[in-house]
Structure 1
Amino acid sequence: MADRYTYLRYKRYEEHIVQWIINTSDHIIKNFPSEPPVAAKTTKTKGVSLARLKSLSALIAKHIDPIPTDIFRLFKSLIDARIETHDFFLRVSGSDLDPNIRRSNESHEHWINGLIDAFEALGGETGQLKTKFDSDAPNEDEEQIIFENKSSLRPDRQTKERGEGGPEEIDGDAPNEDKEQSIFENKFSTLSLDSQMKEGGESGNEESDENANLAGPATPAATRRRKRNKRGRKPKGKRRSAGTASTTSDLQDAPLESYRIVEDESGMVTEYLMAVYSLVSQMVDLRHYLQAVWSWVAYGGFNSVVAANLCNVAIGMIRDTQSQIFVDFPDGDSFDIIMKSLIGDTEKAQDQFRIQIPRQKPDGTGDMSQELDIDVKEDFLLDSYQNLCDFVTDYQATGTGKPTKGMLKSIRNWDPKLDLEKATKKQRLKWRRAYTINWLYDLVNVFSSVVIHEQTLKRQHIPLETVDWSRDGPWSEHRRLFGINDFAGDITHLAVQEPGKDFRSKILPHHVFQLQSIVDSLAVSRGWTIGIFEGHVLNDPASEFRPRRDIDLFMGRESKSGKGFCESVDVLTQIFDRDDMLPRDSKIASLNEKLIALRQDFDNWLGETKYTYGLESRFSNTNSNGLWEYSPFLCGAGLSEALELAYGMGMLLWDKFPEPMCVLHLHNMLVQKGLIARPIIMWSAIESFFRDSFFSNGNIPTSEFAEAINTRIGGPNAHRSSPRNRPQRQQLSRNATNVNELLDPSVNRFFKTKSLLQVYRGANWIPDRIPDEDIPLPIHLALMRLAETRKTRDRVTGEFTLADTDLVRRARSGGLSDKEIIRMTSNLILSEPPDVSEMMSTSQPTIPEGYPFGPAGGPSKLDLSLPTYLDILKLDLVADVCGVTPLSGLNYNSVLVHCYWMFRQIEEKLKACQSITWPRAYLEDCELIQRESFTVRALGERDPECLEIIAGVFEGERPGFMDHIYWDTLLDTSGEPEIVVPEGYKALSSLDSCSIM
């Protein structure tokens, strides 16, 4: 994802530049034996020092003309990234310099000068850094082109008359396609280099074009492929003489990550500071975006599940970034060390941080940039970090789950309705600190209650400091909490350690960021947001908002409409007990027990807390359920996990019972034969969502309907518990570490589709880790993935072909050509909102007329900054939870109940009219389940009277789609929801055009 000058991007650029420098210089030396042997020696390594980088750059400039423009562009990116970080630390260091910061600043200068020297030695001019190459670092689209597309060193594209250097001119009518001729997708050939060598050089190897694939694959995927295929065939070539520098194959065997600038101690320090600066900038950007998301929840009715999942994705991004960054700095990953490295003394740093806001003059020209002070403690999350540390210290001090007397004085009698607008800044901070520590006490006490229970009632001695509190630990089978078990486990582990034991080194950036998101979710609902420009922004509280609003809708706690999960389970379990058509075996009983157990867990722990053994909620003076009632984040995250489990259970039930399959096949026949006036919205929508589940290969039959269902269910001798799938599910049951894994739909026989919430959880909320095969078409994440797919161009026709990935194959199977896919996804590169309608029409049936939606607005431009990246993912999450394809918002239990109800009516009418189909299907057939047998006979169209009865029941029972959706409305996901906020509401400013200095 795009993120200006991140450390990880810097490292990728460095790897590619060093790879190009080493491989190019190696080729030159092999063709120019007169070059000094010391230069040849350097090419045997995959790393170069700054001095050697300069000497090799000079060597290349001596023999290669022109130097690819993209090499200068990447050099500029490295230099700019270094300069930005250096300027930041110069700004915050002040006059009272810490010796370590002084040395690191000097080291930054050394590295900047070294890179500039190499840039100039290669032929670049210092002035070009701000003029000729004034396009900043390549954006994400350019990066993909630079690193994944064809060689720009092809003679027909780059070779100029000798002596005529300069950048390549790009054709204006197809900028993205022309940039396909960049330098790093495929290994550029010796022929290309030979054609660019200056006069006076001679090719020293006639077969070098056959064996000199020098650049190597540049994408991470290509690098992984190369690692897996180390035993592949080596290229043919002449045996080199003893004086030759190194073989090309030696270079090809090296993974891309091994190409880097060799660093001394000072270099490691500056790289660490770059990593720190990158990570903290990411946290600042994401924190402010998520505040806006929670304002949509509180003031605009936005679903809290979507907001919580956007938070989960942001947390996952930070967790993933920190793990990738700090693999090089294993002792520098704690939040404490990061902040000390970034700003040193907090109080001194307060006056040294400013933000630059670029503005133009009224006439639209010139620069009127404004600088403002920023609140270091607030914007760098230091306040939340300190509150967390104070809580852990206090919890350890007593070991009883109760605050110390000193702490109690500062956090007791917290008032959730304090008028924050009238409060002073100091009072607001005190209010937030008291809330944070009280809430953390409740969190740890609830999460650790199962172990306390064992100690208290069973008198077992369990050292709390040794307990595995993780989601997959031994106590995970005892449900205490929904939604944030990983965070709760980490914080509990810190809190129950012996007093005095170091814990600050265990607090990582994603812990602090998640706590900040939890706290912000409440503060925003009370009208308090933090603007990086404005500081404290205050509005009236969202008076109509309740954090448990969406949970109560899901559970049906305030409604008797049957839409809620609990009521639908109650009805369904009664059917299981009384329906004569259901088989009476242990499998049915087991499914019923699982369903009831899930309902009980929701009743006890979703939106509710239980305190025992002398403990009570820290919020008992206002609401003993304060852990949930005062946490929109927890409510959204908890409900998200509940929706995943409800969906998994629904898919399992639909897979085991024949009624949904039968109803959908009957409805399709009635529609195709014109036996009902018009399609029924609910069944058409469900057919659209699960077409591949209901019909073989997703092909909706228009005739021979009995054969179609027989093909799908396997014929009269098949059983719904497929022998092939049974061992897989049994193995999963044995290996499952939690109920989420146990209810994985992928091992079902028919209903294998995962909801998007399940897909994200499976990837630990890191979108880049989601396998292609788990990404449904069409969603925006799929379009972004398709836009990043490697392309190759036919040199004769000029047409592009996409790499044969799973997503590409599925898009092709939907009727799209590679040219159409590229055209559709080019909107992402051109910074325009993607249009999924074309892919929607080819890959699945159109959503039926009358499908209910609520209002929605349009998205902002797609610049792929981190907040905008989340904005795109938001559209997919809305679609899955409460939008165009609400797989997670559909009550599968109530749909199953309705299927049973329809069959009971059909069966009663068949009995009453003494239909010939009734005794044959229900009394004579014994090879199929009775309702499957009846459906197959009815689809055979041999009993017109039977078809008339079925059509009459379907016409009389036209269920409303919204009657089986947990929510009151659905949103059209063509854009972000329309947010209706109170008049005078003050929104936060955008961060896109500012920079922290």
Structure 2
Amino acid sequence: MVTADKYLSYKLETNQLIYWIVNASNSVITECTEPSSSGDGIPKSVNTSGTVTLSGLVSLSKLIAQHADVTPPSILRLFQSVIDARTAFHAHYQQIAALYPDPEVVKRNTSHKAFIDALTAAFEALGGKEWAGSVANSNSAHFPAAEALKAKSDLDRLLLTNKFSALSASEEKDDGGEGLSDDEPHQNPAAPPRRQRAPKRDKGKKCRRGKKSKEQQKPTAFSKAGLNGLPLESYRIIQDKEGRETDDFLAALVLVKECRQLRYELQEAWREVAYDGLNSAVAGTLSTLAVAMVRRAAAAMFPDIPGQDSYESVMNTLTFGDVARAQGIYTAISIPHLLGEAKEVHESVVDIKEQFLIHAYHVLLDFIKDFQQNRNGKPTRRMMKEIRNWDPDFDLQKATTDEERLQWRRAYAINWLYDLVNVFSSDVVDGSVEGPWQWDTDRRLFGLTEFASHVTSLAMQKPGTDIGRQVLPHHVFELQCIMDSLAVSRGWSVDVHRGHVLSPPASAFEPQRDIDLFLDREEKVYWGFLTGLMLLQHALKLDRQQCGPGQLGHRNDGPLISLMQHFQLRFGGWLGDSKSTFSLPSIPPSRFSHTNPNGLWEYSPYLCGVGLQEGLEQGYLLGMQIWDKIPEVTYLVHLHNMLVQTGYIQEPINLLGTIEGIFDKSFFKDGKVPTTGFSEALVAHVGQAMPVSRPTARHRAAARPAALSAGTIHDTLSVRHNRFFKQISQLGLYREAGWNVHRIPDSDIPIRTILMTIRLSQTRHVTGHSNGTAQLEETELIRRMKADGFTDEMVAELHEMSVGDLEPCTENVFEALHKMFPQGRVTVHKVRDTLGLPAATPGQVSEPRSLTNQEVLRGLKIDLLDDVCGTNAPLLSLSYAAATVPILTVFKAMENRLSAKGNRLYERIYRAPSNTQTEKRRRLILAAMEEQDEECLSEMASSFEPGRLWFRDHVYWDELFEYGQGLPTTEMRHEKERASGRDHKALSDASSCVVMNLDLHRVMKLSQAITTKLSQATAIK
């Protein structure tokens, strides 16, 4: 199946191939003398643009072949990969041309064939045919497995280090002796036979190939050819109009496939939110990641011409400018994954308006055009007739036609968009995503700023403005997901085969369910975010009062309290609530005021999910600020550890023991929990004095303005600015990487997560310098895994599991990770036995695993569950403000008990008038650790109240996810649905492979039992 990832890989490989052709031919030209008069085809000057025509590709390849002893095998493999990919694309066009005999399609198909023919001619000119034959005839059993991986390493070295030349006889050796020399051809079975050098000519160019010194024989660096600094994307093949249109069609087709697949994944996530209690922040984060995936894919597929990447352009390309006429030419085939089973193959005509998101596009376009007519936030009379009677309680199962459901969804979306723009523009006039609302109390929307910003900027333009080129595919995709989130909660989903899939709506589902638990606006519990902030501020004020003998110095908590009050206003006023906006005289009433004036949130699970996602992330940043600025948290964790280690506390206090495990690197130097030398450990971590020294304070203060100038609360309160609490949440990692998890550096990837196994599955093997065997490249991630306790064997076998036995993004891998580290180390062999996996083959070497974006989302969902509401590392589930209150209470209890006892340590330290309260507490803890005062330590231990210090008493949610209990497998979930009478299982789910435009390579690998039927089926009718 042609996926976005495969298409982008094809484009990248084509860029790499042209890079090599251009630079290698430039090396030939620069080493030749006078221009030829015999017409030998050698250009007079080097190529400085990086572009070539199809005919130029062939002639330059022939030129290289005349002056090179042999073409590097890695380049020939690259040629073969590009040809294979283009041939697969051509197969789709052959079907289109046969079933849709339009002259334009025929022209594009002809250009496809011309492109393949040119690639093949260039490939054969460079010795590709002979090389392919030698590969086919070689016996791979006689060669080590590492040889199969050597080509990729060679290609990376050739392209990235820029130390090769087409004139070299073979791949260049590195300093470790890697590669093949002219005297060792037998070690590389895939090396092409040496070509005979062209006979010397009497006329024409004479290449300077005379005797050279050893230094001169080094390959010519391509930077000398005049192309230094030209980006790789600039190396491409220039095609005619038909060729460009062909490429555009392929890109558009792949893009809508990507949207369709990601849409199904998100439909499933929002269905789990409504029916199975999945935290909406998890689905919201998956949605944000998916939108970013679509955005990146579109930008990478259409990089050249402005407007070519618009949704309008994509749809015109796929429908040949006529949607009605194009309906019926696309069909989808469902192919069972399991080979050897004669399962039924399903073929269905694709509803292109639904599957290509055309309905969603028309909703967005019609809304923008209607808003532009008045630009006062009120629909026109014509639009009002269409949308004013929207009924949120409409029974979708009782709709007589699909059109009736579509009209219900359209009316909802346009009403919702009116509320969105009115709320967003209430204090934001320019509609720019870099506007001033990003870091102040006037921000009206959590989680949807970018989408709301763009839609608002379009809606505010003058009537008649052509906005078609400004609506990009990811805007349409996000609107589709917004509509889907409500529809699936009402029992309506859309499948490529089954069309409209209906079931009873989720009973008693409230889109704000999780926001209500997080905020606790009604103060039902004291651990909600708002309640926790209120209690902590009260506790800090009480803590300033007199305690013990003499007056204690005041804490400097003013800035922190102001920050907490700021968050109370922002979250209490705007997260999940926009009613106050519609009370402004300049803003029209909500379009949902007849049923719910807060309909913008109450009728949008999507907005609630992405809003909660951002709220949790910001709440975590505030929590880290609180703990970084209230040192009692660190002091008490160190004291608790000492009391447990020395037996004064028999069982660890749950809250303190849990946060010690989660934030070990924040509480202890290098994350090492001390068993002796407790005072030294505390001093080593916090320094002799807790207040920051003046030079350090100036240095940290200098770093803050840069963050503040960025204008976002995420940058301003980034944990990377903190002194101690620098642990970043997974949501924070995703945001920093622009919602592209592949950009997260190895140094930041959390250990023992699915993201870790996904990155590990991409790790390649390299050839060892000492014995020539293949071994995993020693990446920073692998070094961190070993430092965390993974042995070489565990890393190697986990890699094999993630690229071979298991997908690296499944619940089974998650289970395996956490079975490796219970009490006592458990080897991967035992994990394999537990999971019923076969033993790894000795010496086995597997290629890096290529995952679809769908698979990546499924894996990240498991990590997000753990981050948001799990039991392993639930960074985002803890109410940090609420959890700080009992910690301060423990200190107050210790001081009261020691004061009542007249303890000598307490009296000595607390009667000193010059120290602040926090400094006295630090000195008391250190003195107790150093002097081992029995009375003091006993009273301290008695001050802990286990009944008030439970971790789960300070999390936002009613319960936390535990593996095996809160995360059903796909089959378990569908079994539950069947038992409840709402079987949502679609033909496009995880048990089947859905193909639009029949993938011939996939078909060839299927079982013989279904081959006959598949050969008669087509993906385009």
For the criterion TM > 0.5, the same-fold answer is yes
Q: Does 1:402 align with 2:406?
A: no
In structure 2, the partner of 1:635 is 608
How many Å separate the matches in 1 of 2:345 and 2:303?
A: 38
In structure 2, the partner of 1:198 is 194
CA displacement, residues 498-537 of structure 1 (integer Å, 9 cap, x when unaligned): 1111122211111001111111011011111111111111
Call closer, same or farther: CA 1:379–1:61 in 2, change over 3 Å.
same
Per the TM alignment, residue 417 of structure 1 is displaced from its structure 2 partner at its CA by 1.9
| Contact 2:704–2:716 (Cα < 8 Å) also in 1 | no
TM-score by length of 1: 0.83
Report the 3-state secondary structure (helix = DSSP H, G, I; strand = E; otherwise coil) of the residue aligned with 2:394.
Answer: coil
How many Å separate the matches in 2 of 1:262 and 1:484?
A: 40
| Contact 1:292–1:988 (Cα < 8 Å) also in 2 | no
In structure 1, the partner of 2:201 is none
Q: Does 1:297 align with 2:273?
A: yes
CA displacement, residues 53-89 of structure 1 (integer Å, 9 cap, x when unaligned): 3345567778989977765654454345434545555
In structure 2, the partner of 1:794 is 768
How many Å separate the matches in 1 of 2:555 and 2:460?
A: 43
Q: Does 1:871 align with 2:858?
A: yes
Per the TM alignment, residue 426 of structure 1 is displaced from its structure 2 partner at its CA by 1.2
Per the TM alignment, residue 745 of structure 1 is displaced from its structure 2 partner at its CA by 1.3
Call closer, same or farther: CA 1:941–1:83 in 2, change over 3 Å.
same
How many Å separate the matches in 2 of 1:842 and 1:347?
A: 57
CA displacement, residues 741-798 of structure 1 (integer Å, 9 cap, x when unaligned): 2211111111112211122122221212333333322322233334434654223323
| Contact 1:862–1:868 (Cα < 8 Å) also in 2 | no
CA displacement, residues 168-211 of structure 1 (integer Å, 9 cap, x when unaligned): 54459985784245441223683535556526449957669867
In structure 2, the partner of 1:354 is 331
* Root mean square deviation of aligned Cα: 3.9
Alignment of structure 1 residues 452-531 onto 2, 5 Å: 464=429, 467-473=430-436, 477=440, 478-531=442-495
Per the TM alignment, residue 801 of structure 1 is displaced from its structure 2 partner at its CA by 6.6
Q: Please, which of 976, 981, 984 is the counterpart of residue 983 of structure 1? A: 981
Q: Does 1:968 align with 2:958?
A: yes
Letter of the 2:749 counterpart: I
Q: Which moved more, 1:404-413 or 1:39-48?
A: 39-48
Q: Please, which of 851, 875, 886 is the counterpart of residue 887 of structure 1? A: 875
| Contact 1:471–1:486 (Cα < 8 Å) also in 2 | no
How many Å separate the matches in 1 of 2:372 and 2:925?
A: 65
Letter of the 2:425 counterpart: S
In structure 2, the partner of 1:313 is 289
In structure 1, the partner of 2:636 is 663
Letter of the 1:813 counterpart: A
Larger RCO: Structure 1 or Structure 2 (Cα < 8 Å, ≥ 6 residues apart)? 2
In structure 2, the partner of 1:548 is 512
How many Å separate the matches in 2 of 1:575 and 1:79?
A: 70
In structure 2, the partner of 1:952 is 942
Per the TM alignment, residue 579 of structure 1 is displaced from its structure 2 partner at its CA by 1.3
In structure 1, the partner of 2:155 is 184
Letter of the 2:194 counterpart: K
In structure 2, the partner of 1:148 is none
How many Å separate the matches in 1 of 2:519 and 2:301?
A: 42
In structure 2, the partner of 1:685 is 658
Report the 3-state secondary structure (helix = DSSP H, G, I; strand = E; otherwise coil) of the residue aligned with 1:341.
Answer: helix
| Contact 1:285–1:867 (Cα < 8 Å) also in 2 | yes
Letter of the 1:604 counterpart: G
Call closer, same or farther: CA 1:520–1:54 in 2, change over 3 Å.
same
In structure 1, the partner of 2:18 is 18
Q: Please, which of 114, 120, 133 is the counterpart of residue 118 of structure 2? A: 114
How many Å separate the matches in 2 of 1:705 and 1:404?
A: 72
In structure 2, the partner of 1:939 is 929
Report the 3-state secondary structure (helix = DSSP H, G, I; strand = E; otherwise coil) of the residue aligned with 1:954.
Answer: coil
How many Å separate the matches in 1 of 2:655 and 2:910?
A: 28
Report the 3-state secondary structure (helix = DSSP H, G, I; strand = E; otherwise coil) of the residue aligned with 2:392.
Answer: coil
Report the 3-state secondary structure (helix = DSSP H, G, I; strand = E; otherwise coil) of the residue aligned with 1:890.
Answer: coil
Alignment of structure 1 residues 90-105 onto 2, 5 Å: 101-105=105-109
| Contact 2:27–2:225 (Cα < 8 Å) also in 1 | no
Report the 3-state secondary structure (helix = DSSP H, G, I; strand = E; otherwise coil) of the residue aligned with 1:536.
Answer: strand
| Contact 1:93–1:352 (Cα < 8 Å) also in 2 | no
Q: Which moved more, 1:590-599 or 1:970-979?
A: 970-979
Q: Which moved more, 1:352-361 or 1:545-554?
A: 352-361
Per the TM alignment, residue 739 of structure 1 is displaced from its structure 2 partner at its CA by 2.1
In structure 1, the partner of 2:562 is 593
Q: Which moved more, 1:170-179 or 1:943-952?
A: 170-179
Query: Identity across aligned pairs (percent)?
Result: 37
In structure 2, the partner of 1:771 is 745
How many Å separate the matches in 2 of 1:940 and 1:496?
A: 68
Per the TM alignment, residue 17 of structure 1 is displaced from its structure 2 partner at its CA by 2.8
Call closer, same or farther: CA 1:497–1:329 in 2, change over 3 Å.
same
Letter of the 1:713 counterpart: V
Report the 3-state secondary structure (helix = DSSP H, G, I; strand = E; otherwise coil) of the residue aligned with 2:500.
Answer: strand
Letter of the 1:892 counterpart: Y
Call closer, same or farther: CA 1:764–1:208 in 2, change over 3 Å.
farther
Per the TM alignment, residue 700 of structure 1 is displaced from its structure 2 partner at its CA by 1.5
In structure 1, the partner of 2:675 is 702
How many Å separate the matches in 1 of 2:218 and 2:481?
A: 49
Alignment of structure 1 residues 339-378 onto 2, 5 Å: 339-343=315-319, 344-358=321-335, 364=341, 369-378=345-354
Per the TM alignment, residue 649 of structure 1 is displaced from its structure 2 partner at its CA by 0.9
How many Å separate the matches in 2 of 1:204 and 1:747?
A: 58
In structure 2, the partner of 1:562 is 526
How many Å separate the matches in 1 of 2:2 and 2:627?
A: 41
Call closer, same or farther: CA 1:384–1:581 in 2, change over 3 Å.
same
Q: Please, which of 887, 890, 894 is the counterpart of residue 906 of structure 1? A: 894
Q: Does 1:676 align with 2:664?
A: no
How many Å separate the matches in 1 of 2:272 and 2:105?
A: 42
Letter of the 1:872 counterpart: G
Q: Does 1:757 align with 2:731?
A: yes
Q: Which moved more, 1:166-175 or 1:28-37?
A: 28-37
In structure 2, the partner of 1:219 is none
Letter of the 1:988 counterpart: A
| Contact 2:437–2:443 (Cα < 8 Å) also in 1 | no
Alignment of structure 1 residues 142-181 onto 2, 5 Å: 166=136, 168-171=138-141, 178-181=148-151
Call closer, same or farther: CA 1:360–1:308 in 2, change over 3 Å.
closer
Task: List gaps (5 residues or longer) in structure 2.
Answer: 159-163, 172-181, 186-191, 199-207, 547-551, 826-834, 838-847, 998-1021
How many Å separate the matches in 2 of 1:782 and 1:282?
A: 24
| Contact 2:544–2:554 (Cα < 8 Å) also in 1 | no
Letter of the 2:866 counterpart: A
Q: Please, which of 703, 713, 730 is the counterpart of residue 739 of structure 1? A: 713
Per the TM alignment, residue 398 of structure 1 is displaced from its structure 2 partner at its CA by 1.8
Q: Which moved more, 1:30-39 or 1:723-732?
A: 30-39
Report the 3-state secondary structure (helix = DSSP H, G, I; strand = E; otherwise coil) of the residue aligned with 2:156.
Answer: coil
Report the 3-state secondary structure (helix = DSSP H, G, I; strand = E; otherwise coil) of the residue aligned with 1:537.
Answer: strand
In structure 2, the partner of 1:269 is 245
Q: Which moved more, 1:614-623 or 1:298-307?
A: 614-623
Q: Does 1:53 align with 2:57?
A: yes
CA displacement, residues 459-511 of structure 1 (integer Å, 9 cap, x when unaligned): xxxxx5xx143144467631211110111111111111111111222111110
| Contact 1:875–1:976 (Cα < 8 Å) also in 2 | no
How many Å separate the matches in 2 of 1:2 and 1:767?
A: 22
How many Å separate the matches in 2 of 1:827 and 1:86?
A: 35
Call closer, same or farther: CA 1:767–1:655 in 2, change over 3 Å.
same
Report the 3-state secondary structure (helix = DSSP H, G, I; strand = E; otherwise coil) of the residue aligned with 1:723.
Answer: helix
CA displacement, residues 100-122 of structure 1 (integer Å, 9 cap, x when unaligned): 55543432332233334444555
| Contact 1:780–1:872 (Cα < 8 Å) also in 2 | yes
Q: Does 1:286 align with 2:286?
A: no
CA displacement, residues 365-416 of structure 1 (integer Å, 9 cap, x when unaligned): 7x97543201000000000110111111111112221111111111112112
Call closer, same or farther: CA 1:595–1:944 in 2, change over 3 Å.
same
CA displacement, residues 91-143 of structure 1 (integer Å, 9 cap, x when unaligned): 567988766555434323322333344445556679x9xxx9xxxxxxxxxxx
CA displacement, residues 205-239 of structure 1 (integer Å, 9 cap, x when unaligned): 7669867776xxxxxxxxxxxxxxxxxxx87xxxx
CA displacement, residues 621-650 of structure 1 (integer Å, 9 cap, x when unaligned): 221111111111100111111111111111
Alignment of structure 1 residues 396-475 onto 2, 5 Å: 396-423=372-399, 424-451=401-428, 464=429, 467-473=430-436
Call closer, same or farther: CA 1:41–1:662 in 2, change over 3 Å.
same
CA displacement, residues 709-748 of structure 1 (integer Å, 9 cap, x when unaligned): 1121110374489515532454246414022222111111
